[in-house]
Amino acid sequence: MMAHEAVEEQRQVLPGAESLNAERIAYLERLVSQARTAAAVFSQFTQQDVDHIVKPMVLAGLEHAQSLARLAIEETRLGVMEDKVIKNMVATEFVYHYVKDKRTVGVIREYPERNLIEVAEPIGVILSLTPITNPTSTVLFKCIMAVKTRNAVVFSPHPKAWNCCCEAVRIMRDTAVRHGAPEGVFSCLESHTLEDNAYLMRHQDIALIDATGGPGAVKAAYSSGKPALGVGPGNTPVYLEKSADLNTAVVDIIISKTFDNGTICASEQTVVIDDEIYDRTLKKFAELGAHICNEKEAKLLARTVIDPQSGCMQPMAVGQKATVIARFIGLSVKPDTKLLIAPIHGVGREHPLSAEKLFPVLAVYRAKCVEEALKVCVDVNHAGGLGHTAVIFSRNDEIIRKFGEVINAGRIIVNSPGSIGALGAVYNDLVPTFAFGCGTGGGNSTTDNVNIYHYLNIKRLARRTQAHMWFRVPNQIYFNMNAVENVRQFPSRSTIIVTNPALERIGHADIVRHCISPETHVHLSVIPDMEPETKVVLDAVEALKFYKADQIIALGGGSVIDAAKIMKLKYESPEADLEELAAPFLDLRKRVVEYPTDRVNRARLIAIPTTSGTGSEVTPFAVLTDKERGRKVTLADYSLSPDVAIVDPQFVMSMPKGLTADTGIDCLTHALEAGVSNYASPYTDSNAMQAIRLVFKYLPIAYEHPRDEEARSLMHNAACIAAMAFSNASVGVNHALAHAFGARFNVAHGRANALMLPHVIAYNAAVPSKFMPSPYQKGYIAHKKYATVADLLGLGAGTVEEKVNKLIAATERLLDQLEFPRSIAELGISREEFERTVPELAKTAYDDPSWRSNPRMPLMDELIELFWKAYQGRGLAQATGTPRQQTV
Partner 1 sequence: MGTVAVWRKIDEECVVSALQQAAERLDSAAGEVVLDFSSVRRVDPSALRAMVAFARTADEKAVKVVLCGVNVDVYKVLKLVKLTSRFSFVR
User: Considering beta carbons, is residue 40 or 857 the nearer one to partner 1?
Assistant: 40
Taking contact as CB under 8 A, which single stretch among the options 178-186, 224-232, 626-634, 646-654 is the one that binds partner 1?
A: 178-186
- Segment interacting with partner 1 (CB under 8 A) among 61-69, 180-188, 370-378, 506-514: 180-188
Stretch that binds partner 1, among 60-68, 182-190, 265-273, 325-333 (CB under 8 A): 182-190
Provide, rounded to whole angstroms, the least separation between the CB of residue 44 and partner 1. 5
CB 343 within 8 A of CB 298: yes
Taking the complex as a whole, the smallest distance from the CB of residue 623 to partner 1 amounts, in Å, to 58
Q: Measured in whole angstroms, how far is the alpha carbon of residue 639 from the centre of its chain?
A: 27
Name the residue nearer to partner 1 (CB basis): 61 or 184: 184
Question: Among 643, 529, 640, 545, which Cα is nearest to 595's?
Answer: 640
Which range of residues in 179-187, 338-346, 450-458, 659-667 is near partner 1 by CB under 8 A? 179-187
How far apart are CB 308 and partner 1 at their closest, in Å? 52
- 8 Å CB contact between 308 and 352: yes
Asked if 558 interacts with partner 1 (CB under 8 A), we say no
Q: Which of 43, 769, 817, 886 binds partner 1 (CB under 8 A)?
A: 43
**Residue number with CB closer to partner 1 (46 or 115):** 46
CA of 533: how far to CAs of 509, 615, 871, in Å?
21, 20, 32
Contacts of 695 (CB under 8 A, 6+ apart): 664, 667, 668, 671, 715, 718, 722, 814
Provide, rounded to whole angstroms, the least separation between the CB of residue 155 and partner 1. Answer: 19
Q: Which is nearer to partner 1, 36 or 64 (CB)?
A: 36
Determine the Cα–Cα distance for residues 581 and 562; give it in Å rounded to an integer.
15
Catalytic residue from among 265, 312, 515, 667: 265
Among 17, 41, 414, 743, binds partner 1 (CB under 8 A): 41
Going through 59-212 in order, the beta strands assigned E by DSSP cover 106-111, 116-122, 125-130, 152-157, 186-188, 208-212
Q: List the one residue from 61, 182, 432, 557 that touches partner 1 (CB under 8 A).
A: 182
Q: Is 152 in the site for partner 1 (CB under 8 A)?
A: no
Closer residue to partner 1 in complex, CB, 184/556: 184
Q: Does 556 bind partner 1 (CB under 8 A)?
A: no
Q: With CA atoms as reference, report the closest residue to 607 among 714, 471, 502, 478.
A: 478
Cβ-based neighbours of 41, under 8 Å, separated by 6 or more: 182
Near partner 1 in 561-590, by CB under 8 A: none
Asked if 265 is an active-site residue, the reply is yes
Q: Minimum distance from CB of 30 to partner 1 (Å)?
A: 13
| Contact region with partner 1 (CB under 8 A), list: 31-39, 233-241, 294-302, 453-461 | 31-39
Minimum CB separation of residue 462 from partner 1 in Å reads 21
> What contacts 291, CB < 8 A, 6 or more positions away?
322, 326, 331, 333, 334, 337, 339, 340, 341
Using DSSP, state whether 736 is helix, strand or coil: helix
Q: What angle do CA 719, 723, 729 make, to 5 degrees?
A: 145
Of residues 36 and 366, the one with the C-beta less far from partner 1: 36
Per CB under 8 A, 186 contacts partner 1: no
Give the count of residues interacting with partner 1 (CB under 8 A). Answer: 13
Which of the ranges 29-37, 55-63, 208-216, 649-657 carries the binding residues for partner 1, by CB under 8 A? 29-37
The torsion of the CA quartet 498, 503, 505, 506, rounded to 10 degrees, works out to -140
Closer CB to partner 1, residue 41 or residue 300? 41
Amino acid identity, position 36: R
Choosing from 14, 17, 40, 576, the residue that interacts with partner 1 (CB under 8 A) is: 40
Judged by CB under 8 A, the chain residues 68 through 127 that form the site for partner 1 are 124
User: Minimum distance between the CB of residue 696 and partner 1, rounded to whole angstroms?
Assistant: 55
Shortest distance, CB of residue 225 to partner 1, whole angstroms?
A: 20
> In terms of CB distance, is 150 or 257 closer to partner 1?
150
Residue 456 Cβ vs partner 1, minimum distance, rounded to whole Å: 16
What is the pattern of x (binds partner 1, CB under 8 A) and - over residues 614-653?
----------------------------------------
The DSSP secondary structure of 423-485, one letter per residue, reads H-SSSSSSPP-S-B--TGGGT-S--SB--GGGGEEEEEEEPPP---------SEEEESTTGGG
Integer-rounded Cα Rg, in Å, for the chain is: 40
Q: How far is the CB of 41 from partner 1 (least distance, A)?
A: 6
User: What is the DSSP track for 325-362?
Assistant: HHHHHT----TT--EEEEE-S--BTTBGGGS---SSEE
Instruction: Write the CA distances from 341 to 253, 272, 282, 354, 363, integer angstroms.
Output: 11, 12, 9, 12, 6
Q: How far is CA 595 from the centre of its chain?
A: 22
**Within 13 Å and on the Cβ side, how many CA atoms surround 326?**
22
Angle between helices 860-872 and 749-765 (to 10 degrees): 120
Alpha-carbon torsion angle 725, 731, 732, 736, nearest 10: 160
Does 664 contact partner 1 by CB under 8 A?
A: no
Name which of residues 122 to 151 contact partner 1 (CB under 8 A).
124
From candidates 20, 28, 32, 39, binder to partner 1 by CB under 8 A: 39
Asked if 208 and 93 touch (Cβ cutoff 8 Å), the reply is no
Residue 41 or 653 with smaller CB distance to partner 1 = 41
Residue 107 CB, shortest distance to partner 1, in Å, is: 15
Question: Minimal distance in Å, beta carbon 123 to partner 1?
Answer: 11
Query: What DSSP designation does 417 have?
Result: -
In angstroms, rounded to a whole number, what is the distance separating the alpha carbons of residues 214 and 220? 10
Cα distance between residue 136 and residue 69, in whole Å: 7
Q: Is residue 457 close enough to count as binding partner 1 by CB under 8 A?
A: no
Q: What are phi and psi of 251, to 5 degrees?
A: -65, -45
Which of these segments, 34-42, 65-73, 330-338, 633-641, binds partner 1 (CB under 8 A)? 34-42
> Nearer Cβ to partner 1, position 153 or 253?
153
Q: Which of 135, 184, 215, 474 binds partner 1 (CB under 8 A)?
A: 184
Amino acid identity of 509?
Answer: A
- 36 or 693: CB nearest partner 1: 36
Give the shortest CB-42-to-partner 1 separation in angstroms. Answer: 9
Instruction: Name which of 158, 95, 107, 151 is nearest 126 in CA terms.
Output: 151
- Composition of the chain by helix, strand, coil, percent to 5: 50, 15, 35
- Measured CA to CA in angstroms, residue 94 lies from 149, 170, 213 at distances of 17, 21, 22
183 binds partner 1 (CB under 8 A): yes
User: What whole-number distance in Å separates Cα of residue 270 and Cα of residue 344?
Assistant: 9
> Could you say whether residue 543 binds partner 1 (CB under 8 A)?
no
- Is 38 an interacting residue with respect to partner 1 (CB under 8 A)? yes
Q: Does 833 bind partner 1 (CB under 8 A)?
A: no
Q: Is 173 in the site for partner 1 (CB under 8 A)?
A: no
* CB closer to partner 1, 82 vs 183: 183
859 is a contact residue toward partner 1 (CB under 8 A): no
Between residue 390 and residue 419, which ones bind partner 1 under the rule CB under 8 A? none
Taking the least distance from each CB to partner 1, the nearer of 125 and 553 is 125
Question: Which residues are CB-contacts of 212 (< 8 A; sequence separation ≥ 6)?
Answer: 1, 128, 129, 130, 131, 134, 138, 231, 434, 435
Catalytic residue annotation? 265
Contact residues for partner 1, defined by CB under 8 A: 34, 36-41, 43-44, 124, 182-184
